[in-house]
Amino acid sequence: MDTSTILKAWKQQQFRPVYWFEGEESYFIDALIEEAEKNILTPEEAAFNLIVLYGKETAWSDVVNACMRYPVFAQKQVVILKEAQQMKEIEKLESYLQQPSPATILLVAYKEKRIDGRSKLSKLLKEKAELLVANKVKENELPGWIQQYLKQKGYEPTQKAVLLVADHIGNDLSRVVNELEKLFIHLKERKKITEEDIEHCIGISKEFNLFEFQSAIGKKNVAQSFRILQYFEQNPKAAPMQMMLPLLYSYFAKVYMLLTAKGDDKAIAAQTGINGWFIKDYRQTANLYGYQGIESALLLLHEYNLKSIGIHSTGNAEGKLLKEFLGKLLYH
């Protein structure tokens, strides 16, 4: 079951007695809980029939007692248990799950982790509840998720605008959405989103960012690579070495996988984790560097990652280490 399917059922006034939302991506869980809190009941019904509890300060018996009461001037009541992962003896909710009240809609937000799949509680949830596992959006799926989110909101972003957001913010969806909400205010009635909008509203340079740095290195564009590196040196918060090197390692590791991948672009994307938008760019990098060049790049990244944390290092400043690394990489 996914978020959109649950929301569609709710709009049609179709409800299950128990909803259990768990997993690492809190954005999906928070969105469902907010919708339930605001819209399952009318404001008049919610005044008497909406109960919100918090795991840290709630005993399992309090949850059961709340669920077993009768609605007041309404057919249903809603009981929401937030931060359920902090509740002690949560497994004792098993007794309620076996026979939930037909007059109650119980929603449980169990964030940051999952219930042990071997437990009795987990088996009961699969049998008796509407279970949503909220997983993190994968790196290669993030641009597509951002583009779809903007489309649903009625906006038309350029491809580069989407990539800038994905590259700079990463897959923390709550932060992505917060930054985009700021952007919507700036746009007012305008629906087109450009990289200039991203630069102005979210503070991401359209020319000097990790995505452009990776692209310049992938194309062996020496002048542009060092130009961006100089910007990073002057603005150390824009791309710390400990952020930059793992990103580049991931990039070259995918290029290495591409060298042995088979099939069409869709099959290659599935095998390597490369976003379909970028397969052409990754192929270009593979051709420019070749097997030996890609292997050397991976070894070099490993070496300088160790140096960045003081291993086998002569104590050079971060900027000097990065210039040294880039010189060896591009002039290999």
Q: Per residue in 133-183, pLDDT tens?
A: 999 998 778 889 999 999 999 999 998 899 889 888 888 899 999 999 989
Per-residue pLDDT, 110: 96
Is the predicted pLDDT of residue 324 greater than 80, yes or no?
yes
Q: In what order do the strands lie in the sheet with 18-23?
A: 50-54, 77-82, 104-111, 18-23, 130-133
Mean pLDDT of 220-243: 87
Residues of the chain with CATH 1.10.8.60: 139-202
d(CA 147, CA 161): 9
Domain made up of 139-202: CATH architecture: Orthogonal Bundle (1.10)
Site of tokens 């219930």: 115
d(CA 191, CA 179): 16
For residue 178, give the nearest of 221, 207, 146, 200 by alpha carbon: 146
Is the predicted pLDDT of residue 131 greater than 90, yes or no?
yes
Fold held by 219-330:
Zinc Finger, Delta Prime; domain 3 (1.20.272)
Q: Give residue 180's identity as a one-letter amino acid code.
A: L
Averaged confidence pLDDT in the chain: 90
| CATH code of the region 3-133 | 3.40.50.300
Residues of the chain with CATH 1.20.272.10: 219-330
d(CA 201, CA 182): 7
Mean pLDDT of 84-90: 94
Mean pLDDT of 255-278: 88
Q: Which tens digit of pLDDT belongs to each residue from 281-323?
A: 999 999 999 999 999 999 999 998 888 877 766 656 777 888 9
Is the predicted pLDDT of residue 65 greater than 90, yes or no?
yes
DSSP lists the bridge partners of residue 267 as none
Per-residue pLDDT, 59: 95
**pLDDT-based confidence at residue 332 (cuts at 50, 70, 90):** low
pTM for the model stands at: 0.73
Read out DSSP for 55-123? GGG--HHHHHHHHHSPPSSSS-EEEEEESGGG-TTGGGGHHHHHS--TTEEEEEEEESS---TTSHHHH
Residues of the chain with CATH 3.40.50.300: 3-133
d(CA 212, CA 251): 13
Mean pLDDT of 44-69: 96
d(CA 91, CA 60): 8
Q: Which two tokens stand for residue 118?
A: 């071997």
